[in-house]
Amino acid sequence: MRKMDAADLEQVLEWRNHPDVRKYMYNQHEITLEEHTQWFQSTVGDSQRHLLIFEKNKKPLGFVNITEIKKGGIADWGFYLSPQAPRGTGLALGITALNYAFYEANFHKVCGQALGFNERSIAFHLKLGFEQEGILRDQHFDGKNYHNVVCFGLLANEWQPDLRDLK
Protein backbone atom coordinates (compact mmCIF):
# COMPACT_ATOMS: atom_id res chain seq x y z
CA MET A 1 0.00 0.00 0.00
CA ARG A 2 1.39 3.40 -0.92
CA LYS A 3 0.10 6.93 -1.26
CA MET A 4 -1.43 7.83 -4.60
CA ASP A 5 0.41 10.50 -6.57
CA ALA A 6 -0.22 12.43 -9.79
CA ALA A 7 1.49 9.72 -11.84
CA ASP A 8 -1.35 7.34 -10.85
CA LEU A 9 -4.17 9.59 -12.11
CA GLU A 10 -4.71 8.09 -15.56
CA GLN A 11 -4.51 4.49 -14.31
CA VAL A 12 -6.97 5.09 -11.46
CA LEU A 13 -9.32 6.94 -13.84
CA GLU A 14 -9.21 4.02 -16.28
CA TRP A 15 -10.16 1.61 -13.48
CA ARG A 16 -12.92 3.91 -12.18
CA ASN A 17 -14.44 4.40 -15.63
CA HIS A 18 -14.47 0.70 -16.51
CA PRO A 19 -18.12 -0.40 -16.85
CA ASP A 20 -17.66 -3.23 -14.31
CA VAL A 21 -16.54 -0.68 -11.69
CA ARG A 22 -18.67 2.31 -12.67
CA LYS A 23 -21.98 0.44 -12.39
CA TYR A 24 -21.53 0.17 -8.61
CA MET A 25 -20.70 3.85 -8.04
CA TYR A 26 -23.09 6.51 -6.78
CA ASN A 27 -22.03 8.65 -9.72
CA GLN A 28 -22.09 6.40 -12.77
CA HIS A 29 -21.12 8.83 -15.50
CA GLU A 30 -17.78 8.46 -17.22
CA ILE A 31 -15.43 10.87 -15.50
CA THR A 32 -13.17 13.05 -17.65
CA LEU A 33 -9.47 13.42 -17.00
CA GLU A 34 -10.12 17.09 -16.20
CA GLU A 35 -12.72 16.20 -13.54
CA HIS A 36 -10.44 13.53 -12.13
CA THR A 37 -7.47 15.89 -11.98
CA GLN A 38 -9.56 18.56 -10.23
CA TRP A 39 -10.77 16.00 -7.69
CA PHE A 40 -7.20 14.85 -7.03
CA GLN A 41 -5.85 18.38 -6.64
CA SER A 42 -8.64 19.25 -4.21
CA THR A 43 -8.10 16.17 -2.04
CA VAL A 44 -4.41 15.30 -2.15
CA GLY A 45 -3.43 17.95 0.40
CA ASP A 46 -6.28 17.18 2.80
CA SER A 47 -4.86 15.50 5.92
CA GLN A 48 -8.21 13.79 6.53
CA ARG A 49 -8.02 11.98 3.16
CA HIS A 50 -5.87 8.93 2.56
CA LEU A 51 -5.64 8.18 -1.16
CA LEU A 52 -3.85 4.86 -1.54
CA ILE A 53 -2.69 2.51 -4.27
CA PHE A 54 -2.67 -1.21 -3.54
CA GLU A 55 0.22 -3.02 -5.19
CA LYS A 56 1.36 -6.60 -5.43
CA ASN A 57 4.87 -7.26 -6.68
CA LYS A 58 5.12 -3.51 -7.41
CA LYS A 59 2.18 -3.73 -9.82
CA PRO A 60 -0.73 -1.35 -9.07
CA LEU A 61 -3.94 -3.36 -8.70
CA GLY A 62 -6.38 -1.19 -6.77
CA PHE A 63 -7.35 2.15 -5.27
CA VAL A 64 -8.46 2.88 -1.70
CA ASN A 65 -9.89 6.14 -0.35
CA ILE A 66 -10.15 6.47 3.44
CA THR A 67 -11.60 9.72 4.76
CA GLU A 68 -11.83 10.78 8.39
CA ILE A 69 -15.40 12.01 8.76
CA LYS A 70 -15.58 12.72 12.50
CA LYS A 71 -13.20 13.58 15.30
CA GLY A 72 -12.12 10.57 17.31
CA GLY A 73 -10.99 8.50 14.37
CA ILE A 74 -14.21 7.70 12.52
CA ALA A 75 -13.57 7.12 8.81
CA ASP A 76 -15.37 6.13 5.62
CA TRP A 77 -13.69 3.94 3.06
CA GLY A 78 -14.20 3.21 -0.60
CA PHE A 79 -12.17 1.10 -2.99
CA TYR A 80 -12.02 -0.53 -6.37
CA LEU A 81 -9.74 -2.89 -8.21
CA SER A 82 -8.21 -2.93 -11.62
CA PRO A 83 -10.64 -4.92 -13.79
CA GLN A 84 -7.61 -7.08 -14.74
CA ALA A 85 -6.66 -7.83 -11.12
CA PRO A 86 -6.22 -11.56 -10.46
CA ARG A 87 -8.74 -13.44 -8.38
CA GLY A 88 -8.17 -12.93 -4.65
CA THR A 89 -6.79 -9.41 -5.05
CA GLY A 90 -9.84 -7.85 -3.40
CA LEU A 91 -9.33 -9.70 -0.14
CA ALA A 92 -5.64 -8.79 -0.06
CA LEU A 93 -6.54 -5.15 -0.75
CA GLY A 94 -9.17 -5.17 2.01
CA ILE A 95 -6.89 -6.67 4.64
CA THR A 96 -4.00 -4.38 3.72
CA ALA A 97 -6.22 -1.27 3.68
CA LEU A 98 -7.79 -2.08 7.04
CA ASN A 99 -4.37 -2.81 8.56
CA TYR A 100 -3.36 0.64 7.33
CA ALA A 101 -6.53 2.24 8.71
CA PHE A 102 -6.25 0.69 12.16
CA TYR A 103 -2.48 0.29 12.69
CA GLU A 104 -0.97 3.21 10.74
CA ALA A 105 -3.70 5.86 10.62
CA ASN A 106 -5.01 4.73 14.05
CA PHE A 107 -8.69 5.03 13.22
CA HIS A 108 -11.19 3.83 15.81
CA LYS A 109 -13.86 2.87 13.27
CA VAL A 110 -14.09 2.35 9.53
CA CYS A 111 -17.50 2.69 7.88
CA GLY A 112 -18.50 1.44 4.46
CA GLN A 113 -21.51 1.57 2.23
CA ALA A 114 -22.71 -0.56 -0.66
CA LEU A 115 -25.61 -0.12 -3.02
CA GLY A 116 -28.21 -2.75 -2.17
CA PHE A 117 -27.80 -4.57 -5.48
CA ASN A 118 -24.01 -4.90 -5.05
CA GLU A 119 -24.09 -8.34 -3.48
CA ARG A 120 -20.33 -8.89 -3.90
CA SER A 121 -19.49 -5.74 -1.92
CA ILE A 122 -21.98 -6.65 0.80
CA ALA A 123 -20.49 -10.15 1.13
CA PHE A 124 -16.98 -8.67 1.03
CA HIS A 125 -17.65 -6.33 3.94
CA LEU A 126 -19.14 -9.16 5.99
CA LYS A 127 -16.18 -11.45 5.18
CA LEU A 128 -13.79 -8.77 6.47
CA GLY A 129 -15.68 -8.65 9.77
CA PHE A 130 -17.80 -5.53 9.28
CA GLU A 131 -21.16 -5.45 11.02
CA GLN A 132 -24.16 -4.38 9.00
CA GLU A 133 -25.38 -1.30 10.85
CA GLY A 134 -28.40 -0.47 8.79
CA ILE A 135 -30.13 -0.06 5.48
CA LEU A 136 -30.99 3.36 4.12
CA ARG A 137 -34.12 2.58 2.12
CA ASP A 138 -34.33 4.12 -1.38
CA GLN A 139 -31.43 6.38 -0.40
CA HIS A 140 -29.79 6.57 -3.84
CA PHE A 141 -31.49 7.62 -7.07
CA ASP A 142 -29.47 6.76 -10.17
CA GLY A 143 -31.59 8.80 -12.57
CA LYS A 144 -34.00 5.93 -13.23
CA ASN A 145 -34.40 3.89 -10.05
CA TYR A 146 -34.09 4.21 -6.29
CA HIS A 147 -31.71 1.86 -4.49
CA ASN A 148 -31.13 0.92 -0.88
CA VAL A 149 -27.76 1.71 0.66
CA VAL A 150 -26.35 -0.88 3.07
CA CYS A 151 -24.21 0.61 5.86
CA PHE A 152 -21.34 -1.21 7.59
CA GLY A 153 -19.00 -0.50 10.48
CA LEU A 154 -15.86 -2.13 11.83
CA LEU A 155 -14.20 -1.10 15.10
CA ALA A 156 -10.46 -1.27 15.64
CA ASN A 157 -10.89 -3.74 18.53
CA GLU A 158 -12.95 -6.02 16.27
CA TRP A 159 -10.38 -6.13 13.47
CA GLN A 160 -8.85 -9.59 13.30
CA PRO A 161 -7.39 -10.21 9.87
CA ASP A 162 -7.01 -13.83 8.90
CA LEU A 163 -3.60 -13.64 7.26
CA ARG A 164 -4.04 -17.16 5.84
CA ASP A 165 -6.43 -15.56 3.34
CA LEU A 166 -3.52 -13.63 1.82
CA LYS A 167 -1.81 -16.79 0.56
Reply yes or no on whether the pLDDT at 165 is more than 60. Answer: no
Average pLDDT over residues 82-108: 94
Range of the domain at 18: 2-166
Give CA separation, 121 vs 40, 78, 86, 115, 138, in Å: 25, 10, 17, 8, 18
Q: Please report, in angstroms and rounded to a whole number, the separation of the first and last CA atoms in the chain.
A: 17
Residue 74: the pLDDT is 97
**Structural domains counted in the chain:** 1
Query: What CATH number is given to the structural domain containing 82?
Result: 3.40.630.30
Please report which confidence band the pLDDT of residue 122 belongs to, taking 50, 70 and 90 as the band edges.
very high
Residue scoring higher pLDDT (166 or 79): 79
Q: What are phi and psi of 80, to 5 degrees?
A: -160, 160
Average pLDDT over residues 35-58: 92
Residue 163: the pLDDT is 56
Reply yes or no on whether the pLDDT at 164 is more than 60. Answer: no
Please report which confidence band the pLDDT of residue 28 belongs to, taking 50, 70 and 90 as the band edges.
confident
Round to whole Å and give the CA distance between 65 and 51.
5
Among 80, 63, 65, which Cα is nearest to 20's? 80
Residue scoring higher pLDDT (134 or 22): 134
Please enumerate in sequence order all residues whose Cβ is within 8 A of that of 146, keeping only pairs 6 or more positions apart, or say none. 138, 139, 140
Q: Are 29 and 17 in contact (CB under 8 A)?
A: no
Average pLDDT over residues 100-116: 96
Helix (H), strand (E) at residue 15: helix 9-17
Round to whole Å and give the CA distance between 134 and 149.
8
Reply yes or no on whether the pLDDT at 20 is more than 70. Answer: yes
Give CA separation, 91 vs 33, 88, 120, in Å: 29, 6, 12
Least confident of 27-41, 46-60, 62-76, 88-102: 27-41
Q: Are 92 and 56 in contact (CB under 8 A)?
A: yes
Residue 167: the pLDDT is 43
